[in-house]
Amino acid sequence: MAAFIESKQSGGGSSRMYTYDTLQEIATYLLERTELRPKVGIICGSGLGTLAEQLTDVDSFDYETIPHFPVSTVAGHVGRLVFGYLAGVPVMCMQGRFHHYEGYPLAKCAMPVRVMHLIGCTHLIATNAAGGANPKYRVGDIMLIKDHINLMGFAGNNPLQGPNDERFGPRFFGMANTYDPKLNQQAKVIARQIGIENELREGVYTCLGGPNFETVAEVKMLSMLGVDAIGMSTVHEIITARHCGMTCFAFSLITNMCTMSYEEEEEHCHDSIVGVGKNREKTLGEFVSRIVKHIHYEAKK
């Protein structure tokens, strides 16, 4: 078993391994084993996996059992793909995502998004745990992502590197309004409905490679660049989703404040980050359910 997991972790590092046919094979494997046909795919961030536990009438697939799928190696990421109903709407949910620092290339981290697309998902909801770089933020805030800075892309690392398969999308494409402004507007309405408007923010996210948290100098630099929240995921998933024409909605749960001065004692650690997610699970469950319901009814209009 250990050798099998090892091979799933390191094998096929190249994005080229995930050809259209390979991804179609994964999608077909899943479609043959569930009757659900979700239009919404959800990625649960660190400590946010309990969202998947709110689904009803589920068909679950441990990542180990899905052909060509990597495995989750991070605490707080169960490693399961769950199909089910959220607020009566069929969805598929990644209970655990893949990160670059686990040793996976970005294309491999983002590969499940293409599987969602092939399954028929038109919308992606990506959630993550992130550190607040904006001093106005507080732990427990929910930051709607209005934009991102693809820092890893600046260094030439992009999930779409390599030959482009036009069946997914064009070689070159724009990223303006990638985070659907209408959905963000609706999220603000929902936040008011459920009484969390004072904890709701809207800002810019960036993904660093990790696994270490940031130095004070890095936080200062990123803050000057206009970054409000820092994490180690999501950007490459969103780029991949946008490439294949999916509508994107994403938010960060601010699980810690980034260390902004040398005098501060750094308190954040992964366990407390996961703990903040768990504390917010009820609210976030309600929030995401209402977003999903909105997407579903808008699509029917």
Ligand X SMILES: O=P(O)(O)O[C@H]1O[C@H](CO)[C@@H](O)[C@H]1O
134 belongs to the catalytic site? no
Quick one: which H or E segment has residue 20? helix 20-31
143 belongs to the catalytic site? no
The answer to whether 232 contacts ligand GUN (rule: CB under 6 A) is: yes
Query: Which residues ranging from 237 to 266 are in contact with ligand X (CB under 6 A)?
Result: none
Burial class, 52, CB count within 10 angstroms (exposed 0-12 / middle 13-18 / buried 19+): buried
Q: In the numeric block, which tokens belong to residue 282?
A: 């009820």
Distances (CA, A) of 135 to 132, 227, 256: 7, 11, 11
Contacting residue, 23, 52, 94, 130, with ligand GUN by CB under 6 A? 130
Nearer to ligand X, 169 or 179 (CB): 179
Residue 114 has φ and ψ, to the nearest 5°, of -70, -35
Contacting residue, 15, 34, 128, 247, with ligand X by CB under 6 A? 128
Residue stretches of the annotated binding site: 46, 77, 97-99, 129, 214, 233, 256
Residues, the chain: 301
214 near 208, Cβ under 8 Å?
yes
From ligand GUN, ligand X, none, interface partner of 256 (C-beta below 5 to 8 A by class): ligand GUN
137 near 277, Cβ under 8 Å?
no
Q: Which amino acid is at 142?
A: I
The answer to whether 152 contacts ligand GUN (rule: CB under 6 A) is: no
166 belongs to the catalytic site? no
| DSSP per-residue letters across 43-103 | E--TT-GGGGGG-EEEEEEEGGGSTT-----STT---EEEEEEETTEEEEEEES---GGGT
Residue stretches of the annotated binding site for phosphate: 46, 77, 97-99, 129, 233
| DSSP per-residue letters across 230-257 | EESSSHHHHHHHHHTT-EEEEEEEEEEE
Q: Which amino acid is at 130?
A: A
101 belongs to the catalytic site? yes
128 belongs to the catalytic site? no
Residue stretches of the annotated binding site for a purine D-ribonucleoside: 214, 256
- Closest approach, Cβ 45 to ligand X, in A, equals 3
From ligand GUN, ligand X, none, interface partner of 97 (C-beta below 5 to 8 A by class): ligand X
The sign of the CA dihedral 213, 217, 223, 227 is: negative
Stretch that binds ligand X, among 160-168, 178-186, 217-225, 228-236 (CB under 6 A): 228-236
The answer to whether 72 contacts ligand X (rule: CB under 6 A) is: no
256 belongs to the catalytic site? yes
Contacting residue, 231, 234, 242, 287, with ligand GUN by CB under 6 A? 231
Contacting residue, 12, 120, 210, 285, with ligand GUN by CB under 6 A? 210
233 belongs to the catalytic site? yes
Site of interaction with ligand GUN (CB under 6 A): 129-131, 208, 210, 213-214, 230-232, 255-256, 258, 268, 273
Residues catalogued as catalytic? 46, 77, 99, 101-102, 129, 232-233, 256, 270
Site of interaction with ligand X (CB under 6 A): 45-46, 74, 97, 99, 128-129, 210, 231-233, 270, 273
